[in-house]
Amino acid sequence: MVRLPERTHSVYLDYHASTPCDPRVVEAMLPYFADTCANPASSIHMDGRKAAQAVETARQQVAASIGAEPHDIVFTSGATESNNLAILGSARASSCGRMRILAGAIEHKSVLAPCRSLRHQGFDVEIIPVARDGQIDLHALTDMLDKRTFLVSVQAVNNEIGTIQPMSEICELVHAYGALLHCDAAQALGRIAITVGSSGVDLLSLSGHKCYGPKGIGALYVRGGVRNAPLESLVYGGGQEYNVRSGTLNVPGIVGLGAAAELAEGERRSDSCRIEQLRDCFEHQVISAIPTAHRNGAVGARVAGNSSLTLPGIEVEALVARLGDVLCSTGAACALGAPEPSHVLTAIGLTRADAYSTLRIGFGRFSTQDDTSYAALGLVRTVEAIGRATLAAKRRILGEYTHLIH
C-alpha cells in the first residue's frame, strides 16, 4: 500500500469558497487599523484626509483592474450586497414600466433570492436555461427577451463548475432590447480578463475574499458613473458612496480590496498558467485511478483553478469528512446545510444522486505541486477505502440474510 507523506499543514483546495488573504494585501491594510484610524468623512483633519485619499486610491485600483473609471465604483460589504443593490436597486428605480427580469439558471443565490423577492412584488421573473456545460442557451435567451425586459443577470464565472459565460454576446442580445445587463463577477477577477468597456455590462459585482483580499468588502461597477446610477439605495444614512450606499467606510477593507484587485489583474496570466497545470495534473491522477469519475462544466471554457468532479456511488459529504487535512467542498459554501442538491448541478442535467456525488476542488495562488499530488493520492485512497467499506457492509448484510433464510 502506498503511504501518504507526513504533512505539517493542511492542503487548502477550497479557493472558490474563499481565497487566503495575500500577505502583500495584509501589509497594505495594517496602517489603517490603528496608525491611520480616522473616518474618511472627517476631512477637516490630516488623518481624515489620509483615510479619504486611501479610499480614492483603492477606487482607482479597482477601476483599473476591470477597465473602468474611478467614478464608476461604489464600495459595498461584498458581492452579495452588490448583487442585491444591482437587482433590487435597479428594480426600485425603474420608471420605464418594464417589469420583466431574466436570470441564469446557475446564478449564485444572492442573485436568485432578490429576483424571487421581486416576483412577490409583481415583477415577472424568468430563468434562462443553460446547456450541459453550464453556458447560457443563447437561443433561449433570444426567445425570452422582449420589450418588457429591463434587467438580465448572468454570472461571468460559475462558482461551482467554473464555466465562463460569453458576456459580450449576451450583452449584445440584451442591449438590442434596451435592457440592462448585470454580471456577478465575484469569481472572475484575477481568473479571467474583465474589460467592462468591451463586454458592455451595465452593472458588475466584485468581492474581496474571492481575489486574495479580505472578507466583508466588495464593489459594484456602474456604467456611466455612480452619480448617474439607475439605482435606488438599499442603505440610508449619511450619504456616503455618492448617496448610493450610506455608512462609515471600511477603510482597511477598501484598501485591501484595492491592493488585491491590482495584484489579481497584474498576476492573472502567470497565476492562471501555473494553476491550470496543477488542476490538469490533479484531474489526470484522479480520473486515471477512478475511471468512473467525470468532469462537469465547460472543459474548454472554465477558469484555471476549477475542478468539479462527479464520483458515482460516492457520498461526497462523507468523503470530504474523511479527507482530513485535504480541505475541499461539496458545493457552494454559501449554501451549506441545504437538504436539496446543488441547483447548479441539476440545472446542467445531473441526477440528484450524481449531484450528491460531486466534489468541488478549487486551486489558487498558493497551491503547490506537492499539495496537488498529496490531495490526488489522498482522494483516490479515500474513495477506495469507502468502496471497500461499502462492499464489506453489503457482504455482511447478505451473509446475515442468507443465515436467516437457512
Would you say 359 and 309 are in contact if contact means Cβ atoms under 8 Å apart?
A: yes
Q: Average pLDDT, stretch 57-80?
A: 98
Average predicted confidence (pLDDT) for the chain: 92
Q: Is 338 left (phi over 0), alpha (psi -120 to 50) or beta?
A: beta
Candidate from 41-45, 152-156, 314-318 with smallest mean pLDDT: 41-45
Is pLDDT at 158 greater than 60 in this prediction? yes
- d(CA 259, CA 253) in angstroms, rounded, equals 10
| All cell numbers assigned to 87 | 437587482
Residues catalogued as catalytic = 334
- pLDDT higher than 80, residue 265: yes
CATH code: domain 23-266 is: 3.40.640.10
Instruction: Residue 156: name the closest of 272, 256, 66 by CA.
Output: 66
What mean pLDDT do residues 22-37 have? 96
- Provide the grid cell at 153: 443577470
Does position 339 have pLDDT exceeding 80, yes or no? Answer: no
pLDDT at 406 over 60: no
pLDDT band at residue 401 using 50, 70 and 90 as cut-offs: low
pLDDT at 94: 83
Are 230 and 93 within 8 A, CB to CB?
Answer: yes
Share of the chain above pLDDT 90, in %: 84
Residue 403 has pLDDT above 70, yes or no: no
Common-topology check for domains 11-20+268-403 and 23-266: no
Q: Cα(6)–Cα(234) distance, rounded to whole angstroms?
A: 51
CA distance 311 to 356: 9
Q: 362: closest CA among 134, 153, 209, 260?
A: 209
Nearest to 303 by CA among 368, 358, 361, 249: 361
d(CA 55, CA 249): 8
pLDDT tens for each residue of 212-258: 999 999 999 999 999 888 899 999 999 999 999 999 999 999 999 99
All three cell numbers of 384, joined, read 477506495
- In the chain, what percentage of residues exceed pLDDT 70? 91
Domain ranges of the chain: 11-20+268-403, 23-266
To the question of pTM greater than 0.85 for the whole model, the response is yes
Domain 11-20+268-403 carries which CATH code? Answer: 3.90.1150.10
Per the document, the length of the chain is: 406
Distances (CA, A) of 403 to 30, 326, 392, 394, 395: 69, 41, 16, 14, 12
